Amino acid sequence: MKLLLVEENTGLSQRLADLLRAEKFTVDCVADGEAADLVLKSERYALVLLEMHLPRLSGMSVLMRLRRRRDNLPVLMLAAHGSIDDKVACFSAGADDYLIKPFDTRELLARVKALIRRQSSDRTERLTCGDLHYRTDTRAFYHNDTPFNLRRREHSILETLMLHQGRTVSKHTLMESLFGLDEAQSRDAIDIYIHRLRKHLANSNAQILTLRGLGYILRVKDATLPKPDTDEPCLQTETK
């Protein structure tokens, strides 16, 4: 999952980004409101952490513009001062949560995960593909009852495939979930990570299929392949 962090303080922004990446999130960082508003129009995120007081355009203005576009992206507001008036104004403008600095990083992570879980309330607490399981509350994978530990980018790809289980996921969608704004995007890298994931899944009855020209699909081995989510013909599949 990819998050957007909007924070003017460079040191704090770096510490929070490192914290979130350690939790296997992909994180984009911007330092002012205008940049945040621009990137929110072009990129897709699971959540935005938005400082209330920003240069060029306030966090409140960024939030209001987001909601005027009818974008329901979860927003966690961060503020150095927490007056009741500020809180009421943020919630009235469409914020989903509000956290006052300084805060304990454990609380920040708990609130981030809670907002993402709330956004996924239409899903069950556990998604299953054969003997591969994914807990939506902790974002953890299990092979049967054994934790399935993956590196951050491998985790991001498998998470995206699991959340879209049974549907074709394009390489472009996987790239969006994998790479931040400041990272060089490589289509070939997706193939490398898919290859690694197939090795991890060697003892599982869940498998990743390549649909040539379309993308990838996660399914149970020997299950009937669903019809792709596109009218483009699928001429060949591969599992290598």
Of 107, 8, 93, give the one whose Cα is nearest residue 54. 8
Tell me: do 84 and 37 sit in the same domain. Answer: yes
Task: From 119, 148, 180, give the residue that closes a domain.
Answer: 119
End of a domain among 64, 92, 119? 119
Instruction: Supply the CATH number for residue 209's domain.
Output: 1.10.10.10
pLDDT number for residue 176? 85
- Do the beta carbons of residue 127 and residue 165 sit within 8 Å? yes
- For residues 147 and 55, give the distance between their C-alpha atoms in angstroms, rounded to a whole number: 43
pTM: 0.79
Check residue 188 and give its pLDDT: 86
Residues of the chain with pLDDT under 50: 121, 227-240
Asked whether residue 198 falls in the same domain as residue 135, the answer is: yes
- CATH number of the domain enclosing 25: 3.40.50.2300
| Three-state secondary-structure class, residue 5 | strand
Q: Do both 173 and 85 map to the same domain?
A: no
* Helix (H/G/I), strand (E/B), else coil: 1: coil
pLDDT at 225: 53
pLDDT at 213: 85
Residue 216: what pLDDT?
Answer: 94
Whole-angstrom distance, CA of residue 29 vs CA of residue 13 = 7
Residue type, 6: V
Domain encompassing residue 76:
2-119
From the list 12, 13, 41, 8, the residue with the least C-alpha distance to 28 is 13
Pairing of the two strands 47-51 and 2-6: parallel
pLDDT of 150-194, one tens digit each? 998 999 999 999 988 888 999 988 988 888 887 777 788 899 999
What is the Cα–Cα distance from 139 to 111, expressed in whole angstroms? 14
142 shares a domain with 46? no
Give me the pLDDT at residue 19, please: 95
- The token pair at 43 is 């990129």
Total domains in the chain come to: 2
Q: Which of 92, 112, 123 shows the shortest CA–CA distance to 45? A: 112
